Amino acid sequence: MNIKTKELMNLSKQKQSNILLGLFLADIKNENLLNEALYSVSQQELPVDLLIIHPGLSKEDLEKLQAIVNKPTVFIKEQKQNAKTNEVEVVENKIEATKPINFHIEELQINNFSKVFNTVFRVASENEYPAFSLFEKEDIIGPKWFSTAHQYMEENPDMHIFTPLIRNNVNGSFINYMNESAWAEGFAEEAGKFDMQLLNRFNCINPLGAVYKTEAIKEYSEEKDDGLFYPMKESIKISHFYEFFIRMAYNDVKIMSIPRVGYEMRIFNQPEFKETSSKIPQNIVQIPLEKGGITPEEGSFWMELAKKEYFFEDDRNKVYEEPKQQTA
């Protein structure tokens, strides 16, 4: 970006919260999922300010987005017995959000998750938000998550990043919990805290839903010639947030797993992978390269690179080189 973020997004006049929540929206193809995600934002016990970034939605899609975010609507199915026939019927109830969302929509050309993270961080920093968070359009944030995180922030002033337990659903089926490894016996040096030893052994932390103290992140971010700070290295593919968390822990930024389920991640099988998402598909090596897939060799390269680059605050712009074909 050649223009400083604060010139694009001065939110000081509409600021109503101490937490900025960021959402990147490439499209609004599945309006039901988007409604559910934004409804969960509207239901927060502790309201947050919402920043929606899009790469250039059409006028029609922007109007749809405005309508959805102004009044997110969900449909709840329940079984009811028909009093006349005694048959059980499935009834769909429409529920509209009753609490407004304080939001701002901005168009920015962004092509990977690192840039999404860095943009939300910079807007939070330049508008003096003490903390920020990110979520994705298919996901649900628990109604008490931000109030719980705020309480833990108040009670643990020496902690800097607060992650929720994440309920991980794939194609509608529960698979596992995420961010729970810090609580497993013998994994972390201190129960509930992500440390260097744990993170070097496992890529076991997810960036979504986590609440980040803005100034703590800024201290170990690269300041480039444009005067902007870059906490996540934009040259690193797929392991960007893994390198980020290891580097933060290495620099004594304290990361705490709050033992509360505060976030539901919903993953659906997709024929392609878009790098603006942090959800790396398990089958990414089966996805065609032209649709965002990578080879097993490239995947290994990026994961190993994350374990080497955390020593450096600056992005050294390492690139993957295809192995040369051996000639007979």
In a domain, 138, yes or no: yes
Tell me how far apart the alpha carbons of residues 133 and 176 are, in angstroms, rounded to a whole number: 22
Per-residue pLDDT for 7 more than 70? no
Q: Which among 213, 205, 303, 215 is positioned nearest to 263, based on CA atoms?
A: 205
What's the CATH number where 204 sits? 3.90.550.10
The pLDDT tens digits of the residues spanning 129-170 come to 999 999 999 999 999 999 999 999 999 999 999 999 999 999
pLDDT band at 6 (very low <50, low <70, confident <90, very high): very low
Per-residue pLDDT for 303 more than 80? yes
User: In the prediction, which pLDDT does 325 show?
Assistant: 62
Most confidently modeled range among 91-95, 224-228, 240-244: 240-244
Angle formed at CA 76 by CA 72 and CA 80, multiple of 5 degrees: 150
In a domain, 201, yes or no: yes
In a domain, 32, yes or no: yes
In a domain, 114, yes or no: yes
Q: Which among 107, 126, 112, 136 is positioned nearest to 244, based on CA atoms?
A: 112
Q: What is the pTM of this model?
A: 0.92
In a domain, 145, yes or no: yes
Share of the chain above pLDDT 70, in %: 96
> What phi-psi label fits residue 131: left (phi over 0), alpha (psi between -120 and 50 degrees) or beta?
beta
3 state DSSP class of 133: strand
**Average pLDDT of the residues of the chain:** 92
Domain enclosing residue 221, as ranges: 13-309
In a domain, 39, yes or no: yes
In a domain, 3, yes or no: no
- Strand pairing partners for 166? 178, 263
Tell me how far apart the alpha carbons of residues 37 and 34 are, in angstroms, rounded to a whole number: 5
**Domain total in the chain:** 1
Tell me how far apart the alpha carbons of residues 161 and 204 are, in angstroms, rounded to a whole number: 15
First to last CA, the chain: 47
In a domain, 66, yes or no: yes
